[in-house]
Each structure stands twice: as C-alpha cells, then as structure tokens.
Structure 1
Amino acid sequence: MTQVGEGQEAEETAPPVMTFGAPTAGEILAERYELVEHINNDSAGRLVWRGVDVVLRRPVAVVLRYPGGDSATEMLQAAVAASRVIHPNLVGVYDAIDEADRAYVVREWVDGQSLRELVAEDGPLDPARATAIGNAVASALAAVHATGMVHGNVHPGTVMISDDGRVVLADARTDGADSQENDLRAVGGVLYFALTGHWPHGEAPLHGATAGHGRAALPDAVRDAAGSIAAPRQVRAGVPAYLDDLTMDLLDPEIAPPSSDVLSAELSRLDVPADDHFLEQAGPLRFTNDNGEEPSPLASMGGRKVALGIAGLLAVALVGLLIGISALGGDDKSPKNQPVANPSSSAPATGDASPAPAAVRRLSVEDVRIIDPDSKRRDELDDAQLVIDGNLDKGWETQTYNRANFGNFKRGMGVWIDLGSPHTVKSVQAELSATGASAQLLAGSADFPVSSAGDKQLVASYLKSPIGQPFEEHDGTTMTFNGFDPEQKYQYLLFWITELPEKEGGGGFKVGVQEITVQGS
C-alpha cells in the first residue's frame, strides 16, 4: 500500500533533501508518535512514514519535511485548515508540529491504494465505480467548501480507496491562488481519469490540479490536431452519455461549474450499485423532476446537455407533426384524440420500463422535538422548530452545564426528526453554534410517548441503529452524516449530542443546534 504526502510519488529527478533532522525508525516524535516504516517521498521532498500513536494505540501516517520553519509554513497551515473539517470522505488530520529543524503532519492511516495506483494496476474503471468515486470526492469538497476553504490538491494521487471500499480525499495543499472552481474542475479530471486512464489537464493544467512533478507521469489525454481532448466515450466504449457530458462540462472552461453541494447531489443521484441497470437506462441528465419539483440546479451549467435536450424535443415534435399529417390524410371520421404510441421507444407499453432514479433534494420534516431522557424538570424542550426553519441565526440550545458530558446524571440530549413517511436518505447535516461538540446520528423504526419514560425507550431503541461514524470533539460547526443504507428507507432520525463544548470565555458548557437538513428522495 502507498501512503503519499501530497498524493504523488517522487520522481527520479526529485531534488535531494538535507540529512540534518532526518527521522529514524523507532524514533518517537512529540513524545507520542513512533515512526515504524519509511513508505516513500513525494516530489517536494516530504517523507512519508507509517507510525503509531503510542497514546491511543492506532496507526497514523506522518508526513515530515526538514528543515521546518518558513519552508514548512504552507504545509502546516493547510493541515490546520483541513483538521477543522471532519467528513467520512476526508482523511482525518490529527496533529501539525513545527520543531524548527523539521516539521510534520500526523494524519489518518489509510490501508488501501490511490486512484492513480488502482487504474495503473487494473485499468479504467467501470462507469458505476467511477461515479461512486466522483460522488465521494464531490461530497468531501462540499464539506470543505461549506467552511469557505479550498482543498487545492485534487487529483488521482490524493484520492485514496481503502481496502474496505471507503473513498477518501487526502492532503489539502491550498494557497492564495487556489479556488473552489479549480477544485470542481479537478473532479472532472478525476472522473475522466477513472473512465479512461488518462489525465486531461496535460502539462499546463489548472493550479491545484496540476500535472507538475508527480502528476506529470500520468498519461495525457488523447487530443486532436487542435489540442482538444477526446471525450471519454471516444476513448472507451460503454461510457454512458450523461456521464460523458457531465465530465466534459466540468472540464470545459466556457461552462461555469455548479457549486460543490449541487455537484455532490447530482453524483449521489447517479451513484447506484453496479448490479443495477440505472446507469445504462438513465440517459442524459434530467433538469426537472417528474414529480413537479423545481428544476435541478445543474440546469445552470448549460452547455451540450441543454442542446441535446432541445434536439430531443425537436425530434419528438417532428415525429408528432408527421403523425398529425398522416392522420389528416386518413379517414376524417377517425378520433382526433386517439393516443399514439411513441415510435422512438422499443419498450412494450406494459409499464415494465424501469423508472429513472429520483432526484436528491432537501426532504421536508413533518415533526421535530427535543429528546431529554434523564431530566426530571424537562425545561429544555422549547424551540425545537427553530432547527428546521431555514434560519441559521436562530436555533435550539441547551442550558449551561458544569461538565462537557452534561454531568453524572445525564447521558445526552438530542433532536428527533420525523420525515412523515419512509424515504431514501442520502445525508443529514447539522449546523452547530460552536466547535468542540461530540454527537452521532441514530435511526429508529417507531415513535415513542412524549415523556421521560418515552424518551428513554426511544434512545435505547435508536442506539441500535447508528448512521455512519460519531463526531468526537468536532473541530468544526458542521456535522455531515451520509452512512445511510441505499436499500433501506428511513422516517425517524435522532441527532444525539453526547458532549458539549466549553462556552467562549469559560463559565460552563453548552451548544446550540442552528439547523438540521435532510437530503434524500
């Protein structure tokens, strides 16, 4: 397995590094991180080690450079920024230390391989897997962009696929020249690479998704005489038209990309299991929903998908006109409103055609209330509706406690949500008033009486069905949970808070839940 510092292996021409401050196996950094094995160097001379956190007894990756000081400022600043965003598709950053003669970043160890290595070994991926990887990267970027930050280093070397199938984005490397748009263009590059095995940005790529140094070794895209890249469908058979269009639109500088949350939602809609047939039948991207919902925000991308849609409508209109002319030439006594089968469809009119997957959207909440199983006074139950009113300035908040864990008499509090009916849920996002809280998301199959006894029953039942991983002393104010089973429908959810952050300036512990949004179909 390869763990990379900036997502790239060193080239043979990488400059030599100084030996002063060089690490050795068995050395313990910051009295906590034991260096076990040197994995590789990246093209900037950073050393990547497999290590062990001797306090928590867990494996870690240590990305180290020497000397430290000013030369390590960008690396450390990027690590500190990345540590504030916790998301299932982002590599966790645990520590960043500058010791002058050397500096290092300690992050999550991922057992697996990069997308670059995966494609090099197995060849281009099938459309379903490529879509799933693109979905994970876009979801990670949505979490990063929601904080106002930029990743700045998205390419096949920083997209890691763990042995258990988890896809994570590693090694943010941002500076003033990076932008969220460049991150989104890079998602198009990742999709293109996954589908074709070629990197579309060539030797003069966008900043933050460049092919410089370690990335330059990626095979360049097939190009015509004018230097324009070939579409994935021209390189490889079997790429669905809608995925081809989406990839090329993200790479087209003339087409403004959607925001990362919109792109994530669209890729989530398209991310279906490989043994399903939606990828072959879904056709071009849809901009309106069959159920009367508002048009998809991806319509604002314009480009070739709109042109294809208009061409399709013109074709249907032409067929209808020809049928009308034919009808006029027939028996005048024929019924004028007789339904006509669509001649462009080879499917029998039996209703057996597979429906298109429903668009991901914000789900409405039927009911919401505060769950407080261990309180006798139950005086913190008001204002629950403020967590779903769409206003981040107002929310529900706990009282002030003298301990982060509510004290010995209380195990936690939560916000219970009823979606009104079972839904396919993709993600739940909770916006909090402060950093440092610990919480998890739970699912249940039933409601319980509104009382202390009912709340106890509810929590005991829901704790059996956690969604994704809990957040522990979260460094950010946004918690996103997306570990939902796509084969299961959910109606009842519980955002369960187990630890409170300390109030600014001290004086106790409390937190506010400003907004909770549920995405699904």
Structure 2
Amino acid sequence: MTDTGSNERYERHDLLQPGAVETWSGLDRTLNRPVTIRRATADSEIGQRLRLQAKALARVEHHGLLHILDTYDEADHFAIVTEQLPTRMLTEELAAPNGDTRRLAATEAICVVIAVTEALAVLHSAGFAHGGVDAEYIGWRAEVGWVILNGPPTDDAVTIPATRRADLASIAVLAHRLIVGAAPQRRPDGTWELDPVVPDVVAPVLARAISASDPWPDLPSMLLALRSVVDELPATDGTGGDRRSVWQAERHWLAPVGILVAAAATLVGVALVIGQPSEPATDASPPPATAAPDAGTQPVVTVVPSAAVVATAVTVAPQTAPTAPPAPTTTQVRRVPILLESITDFDPAGDDRIEHPERLIFINDGDPGTGWSTARYNTRDFGGLKDGVGLIVVLFGDEPHSVERLVIDSPTAGWSFELYASSERNRTLIDWGSPVATAQDITGSTTLEVPSAEAAALLVWITDLGDELPNGGHRVTVSRIEVTTTISGAEAPPSTDAITP
C-alpha cells in the first residue's frame, strides 16, 4: 500500500508496525532514498511528547541509533523521518535450521551487547531512557554494525515512563539470551537465576545489572565491566560449529586476496630462478671452494626523499687465504611507530566545539569494524556549516619527533584531509599554520608521506566527507591512525619494517 498523504516530499509505502506510533517504510522523493517514517496523532499526548522528543534527539547521533533526518506535519499527524531500517536482523543470526534458537559464542555475544550498550549510553547522556532492548529490534548494517530499531521515538514518548534501570536490566537479559538461548529465570522471591552456561567472568556483570539491591549505577559503569571481560573469553565455546559471525562474513573476500598474494610471490620466485645465468659446461675441475659470506650480513637500506625504500645487498669478496673474513659493514634504517599520547576531536566552528568524543576510544582498538566518526551532514562539504573538522594526535614524549609517515584506515570512500604539524596543541586552525601534506579522494587505508616534519602534535583536518552513505548523509569514520619515524645506525636492530614500502 502506498499512501503519499499530504506531504509533497515524503511518501509512505508499507505499514511495518501499527500502534499509537505507526512505523512506515517510505521514500524521500527529493533525494530519492528509502527512509522510515514514524508518526502519531498530533494532538494526542503521545504525539506531543513525540514532537518534543524529536526536537531534543535531532542532535543526538550514534551509529547504533537511527538518526532523525527530518520532521513534518501531515494532516492531523506529526511525523519523524529516520534512516531506513536494516534488513538483516539479529534474530536471523540466532535462528537454527530446525527452528530452535542458536546460541552465540560468549565473545561474540558480549561484542553485540557492548555495541548496543554504547548506543544506549549516548541516549542516556542526552537525558533519555530507551525502555529496554530486545533481539527482535536489533539489526545489522554493514557500514556501521549493530543498530537499535525501536526508537526514536523511545518508550519515553510511548509507554510512560521509561527508566534507565529498565535499560540496564534489558541488556543483561539480552546477553543471557544470546549466550544461553533463553532469558534468565525468575525465582519465587523475584530474583533472577542465571544459567550455568554463562561464563564465570560474565555472570557477575549480568547479575549486578538485574539486581534489585545493588545494580550498576549507570550504563558507562556496566560498559567498562563488559569491555574488561572480552579478552578473558575464548573466541568460541564450541556451540556454533564452523558458523561465521555476520562481521566475519563481511570479510570473506580476504581469503582469495591471500591466495592471489601467495601466487604472486611464487611467480616472482620462479622468475628469479629462471633469470639466474647458467654456468657453461666444462670438463675442467671445479675451482677451489671460497669462503661463504657471513650469515650476519644485513642489507643496506636507504630512505630517499620520495620515501621509497631501496635495499641493496652487501657483497663479500671471496677469500682466497684461509683467514677469517673481515666483519661485514652494514647500514641499517628501519621505520618504527611513534607512541601516541592522545587523540582528541577538533571542531572549532561547531556549536558545542566537539565532534563525537565518546567514540575516540575506538581508534586503534584492534577492531577494523569500529572507529571514531564525524557527525552526519547533509552534504560532503559539511552542509555549508563549516570548513572542516579534525583529530588532534599528540605524540608521546617531551621532545618533537621527526615524522615521516602517517597511515590512516577508514571505511569511508572519497574523503579528503589536510595534515598539519606543530610543536604544540593549538586551539584554532590558523595557529596550525600551513598543511605539510594533503590526501584527496581516499578510499580504504591510505599512507601519507610527510616531508621533513618535526612535530609534537599532528592535526588531521577533514575537508571533504566523501561519498554519500547508502542510507543518506555524509560522514568520515577513522578506525586506525599510525605515525612512524625512522631510526638509522648500528643501534637500530634488524627488522622487516625496514623493507616495508
């Protein structure tokens, strides 16, 4: 059923969920993109609360929450427009072929729960409670991960009142269901009983979340506890067989790439063997054996201005006398990473001068599926609101470093940035001077060579947000930052880093 209503920009297609707040699939005809439309009767109490909540939540953005794109009035209804709902659901990951509920490995389950808890924590920080999450309302979006689907609006506007306490308990119930296959059981006295399948390191975290006497004081406290137990859990508990998780399935292309690399290495080896000059046939006796080159001989590595690394083998002349060969002379240059003291967001032209500081902890966390991201803007030039946003990278130590290379991993396509270097952390863009390097139209990992920069801090200044996201809008996500320098001389130990191009 298609119902365009009285609004010229948005058309409603299918009623996905009836109720006091209806959920419709729809289309933004101006941008030709699918959206989700949620609406309520304008003059009802729920409709009035929905209007107030939409205004407050419009500035709240997290990849685990549906972002409010627009609001409008339609006849006697008030409607909010959000991103399209994901089509892959967590319940599909839990469904076994025989109709039973499949359990996730504990590590996989806790990672899902952490992603959901992070989104709820952002909602709480904005002054709202959600009302409780469940697997039926959690979906997977390839570019951002797990997304909570029931909200906005949250139950603050529907079932009054929603409480933060209920959110905490719902996270524990969700974790139990993912690990065990069912919710925890209530005892006659009203307390909860956890299944013995729940790992020992996880059980206390869940028990406290559903405790009536001593619950977690807030979501950030529980989030820290959940993160602390991940490394103590095995990657699998044997219940899932060889089933791949949804994020592992997203990276199945790595296998053929590895095969191609191995094949290329084999061809190079064969070419080198074929290219060796053959010895002429002769009846003469072979010459006396010469002394073999010393096994400790290392290649000479030279870093040229273009930052290419050239390796030249050191040859050792044959020794005709039975004396020991002289010690080989080597020059070693290796590239090493510089420790990072801190990474902070930089938004000098923003209303609040911050740009998602709560997501900075996901840079360099070892998971390429997470990362810091900018806010979402309508256009790639920040909606004309500002010239850019950035990240300040402070290098460890009291003295400036000779920075030679910057590596950034990002899933964003088509974005650009300028790199600034300074001996101190500056508050305004003009204080950073002129950029020392630029990178444009980036997709995936990028390596930027830095020409002779002495710096204690770097500014990655994003000037272009890149291509439009599948669900509308523009933003840049950064998952890894590495800054390197080079060490030369005898004190530099051998390292394969030295011949990394």
Radius of gyration: which is bigger?
2
Normalization by structure 1: what TM-score?
0.46
Structure with greater proportional strand content: 2
- TM-score after normalising by structure 2: 0.48
